[in-house]
Structure 1
Amino acid sequence: MTKSPFIIDGETLQARLGEAHLQIVDASWYLPAQNRDQRADYASGHIPGAVFFDQDAIVDPNSSLPHALPSPEIFAEKVGALGISENDTIVVYDGPGLFSAPRVWWMFRTMGAGSVLLLDGGLDRWKAEGRPVTAETSAPEPAVFTPAFDASRVATIDDVRGVIDDGSAQIADARPHGRFTGEEPEPRAGMRSGHMPGAFNVPAASLGANGSLKDLEALAETLKHAGVDPSKPVVTTCGSGVTAATITLALHSLGYTDNRLYDGSWSEWGSRDDTPVKQGAGIIDDAASSLKE
């Protein structure tokens, strides 16, 4: 089994604690249904030296959308204050291991950081393995983060409209299947239910197990089963741009970089009345149903 090159295990990270130019980032963020408070979790115990990356605060202040990607200048100011440089080795984690951390992994890479890793199993496994934690808030020395923003990693609503019209890329939606089909409501008020026409459903949870990203062979099989050809262009999407990054992580782990993350995701698409929405089964399920009939 071949693991993603972007994953670091707890044993390796523990051995490197205190290393110069190693920055550890707690990127935890949760939905209300998860009944976890990311700030309270950090305050009660985090990996020594870890700084807290607030995904509700390091955003575009001029956008009404949740988690909107900030400008390179704002991002650089915020993470510089956390003591992080683009030349550091950055290890990102969340509580369960594969929920919100991939989003921050994607943000750092999009802004030009060269070495960004994800902690296998997250903080929950780290604690379960008896590794060190502290309640002491980190007070890093400010650093200079010089951004090199890669706009090719980001898709806008107009980009997605174009993809739907011309079929130039596949759309891979990371939301759970019930929300994708419209059978389950969106957690945010005012959202229509369903998915973008032609989208494939690749639930973020299907790409991992027990807080770990699947091995490369299993990732390839999961994407294939969902109908996605990773060798062709892909736009990833989800509810608010967070779990879409898990699909992005999977694609990059397999060596496929021709993909963009739709930053507005369903928070933007589903809240408008001028965007096409389809309900019911997606392409793969439609095909399966027709075969059964």
Structure 2
Amino acid sequence: MSQSDAQQLVSTQWLEDHLSAPDVKVFDASWHMPDTGRDAKAEYAAAHVPGAVFFDIDEIADTRSALPHMAPPVEKFVSRMRRLGVGDGHRVVVYDQAGLFSAARAWWMLRLFGHRDVAVLDGGLPKWIAEGRPTEDLPPMPRERHFTARRNASLVRDVTQVAMAAKLGDEQIVDARGPARFRGEAPEPRPGLRSGHIPGSKNVHYATLIGEDGALKDEAGLRAAFEEAGVDLGKPVISSCGSGVTACILDLALERLGHRQHSVYDGSWAEWGMYPDLKVEVG
């Protein structure tokens, strides 16, 4: 697979063939739910794709916000990209340690700040390792580059915009959380949050978009997952989840399907579930 064939994804073979290309930069954007007991930074230090730098979703964020890993101010994002050695003209490939979980968040953030030449490694690190491809434990020494950011506000929604969309029905709200959490039958992993979902929203669990090999399903499989949930792929979509990470998998899948009117509710349920004056549906 060449990147021109699928702009959102690159294969493990493509990446190995292009690892030494001067215009290719690789991010390990691994992040794990707190209850997994996994340490993404420690795992990165132990083994990563050669030359990959660590994209810290919790630090490359608006740390002034009480909400988890919200998109940072543009100045901070520019500073971090330069420090990681990514500049204008670089082709960025993002992966994670789960296969496809948090890599889509970094993919979305780069696009949010105007860097469109970014793709997700299909199957992530598990597929890379399973195929016997090389890893290293050496910390890379990136050279600082010039990175220009142009924030694309159409790719993100705040709570006011989502509340208006829920009221008017002009944009579909699609929730990537598991069905039990969506229906309010399972407690939220973050304390203090109500259970349930945004009124009128639809549920496409992110796991239904991923195959057994940890790679994104083909277009037929993706389309089926959205349509079975009642999502009209001809209308705009706002993606939501627990804290804005797996919502980005929905956007990656939509982009793969040629759907261009999609955005991420950055605060997601961590925000909506916190405010008692916002309506919640269960069941």
Place the TM-score, normalised by the shorter chain, in its bin. Answer: over 0.9
TM-score by length of 1: 0.93
- Secondary structure, aligned partner of 1:213: coil
Corresponding letter in the other structure for 1:263: D
User: What residue in structure 2 maps to residue 212 of structure 1?
Assistant: 215
Please say if 1:105 is aligned against 2:80. Answer: no
Q: Is the 1:95–1:122 contact (alpha carbons within 8 Å) kept by the matching residues of 2?
A: yes
Cα deviation, residue 63, structure 1 = 0.8
- 1:217-256 pair list within 5 angstroms: 217-256=220-259
Give me the whole-angstrom Cα distance separating, in 2, the residues matched to 1:152 and 1:278. 27
Give me the whole-angstrom Cα distance separating, in 2, the residues matched to 1:249 and 1:36. 25
Q: Deviations over 1:71-95 (max 9, x none)?
A: 1111010111000014210000001
Give me the whole-angstrom Cα distance separating, in 2, the residues matched to 1:263 and 1:110. 11
TM-score by length of 2: 0.96
User: What residue in structure 2 maps to residue 283 of structure 1?
Assistant: none
RMSD: 1.0
Q: Is the 2:63–2:69 contact (alpha carbons within 8 Å) kept by the matching residues of 1?
A: no
Give me the whole-angstrom Cα distance separating, in 2, the residues matched to 1:215 and 1:85. 31
Please say if 1:23 is aligned against 2:25. Answer: yes
User: What residue in structure 1 maps to residue 45 of structure 2?
Assistant: 43
Corresponding letter in the other structure for 1:237: S
Corresponding letter in the other structure for 1:272: Y
Please say if 1:257 is aligned against 2:239. Answer: no
Cα deviation, residue 259, structure 1 = 1.3
Pick one of 161, 166, 186 that aligns with 2:188.
Answer: 186
Give me the whole-angstrom Cα distance separating, in 2, the residues matched to 1:17 and 1:4. 18
- Secondary structure, aligned partner of 2:51: coil
User: What residue in structure 1 maps to residue 94 of structure 2?
Assistant: 92
Aligned residues, how many?
Answer: 278
Cα deviation, residue 4, structure 1 = 4.8
Give me the whole-angstrom Cα distance separating, in 2, the residues matched to 1:96 and 1:276. 33
Cα deviation, residue 32, structure 1 = 2.4
Give me the whole-angstrom Cα distance separating, in 1, the residues matched to 2:265 and 2:249. 13
Q: Which moved more, 1:213-222 or 1:4-13?
A: 4-13
Q: Is the 1:7–1:119 contact (alpha carbons within 8 Å) kept by the matching residues of 2?
A: yes
Give me the whole-angstrom Cα distance separating, in 2, the residues matched to 1:19 and 1:4. 19
Runs of at least 4 residues of structure 1 off by over 6 A?
none
User: What residue in structure 2 maps to residue 267 of structure 1?
Assistant: 270
Cα deviation, residue 97, structure 1 = 1.6
User: What residue in structure 1 maps to residue 149 of structure 2?
Assistant: 147
Q: Deviations over 1:15-37 (max 9, x none)?
A: 11111110000000001233321
Q: Is the 2:111–2:118 contact (alpha carbons within 8 Å) kept by the matching residues of 1?
A: yes
User: What residue in structure 1 maps to residue 279 of structure 2?
Assistant: 276
Q: Give the gaps of 5 or more residues in structure 2.
A: none
Identity %: 45
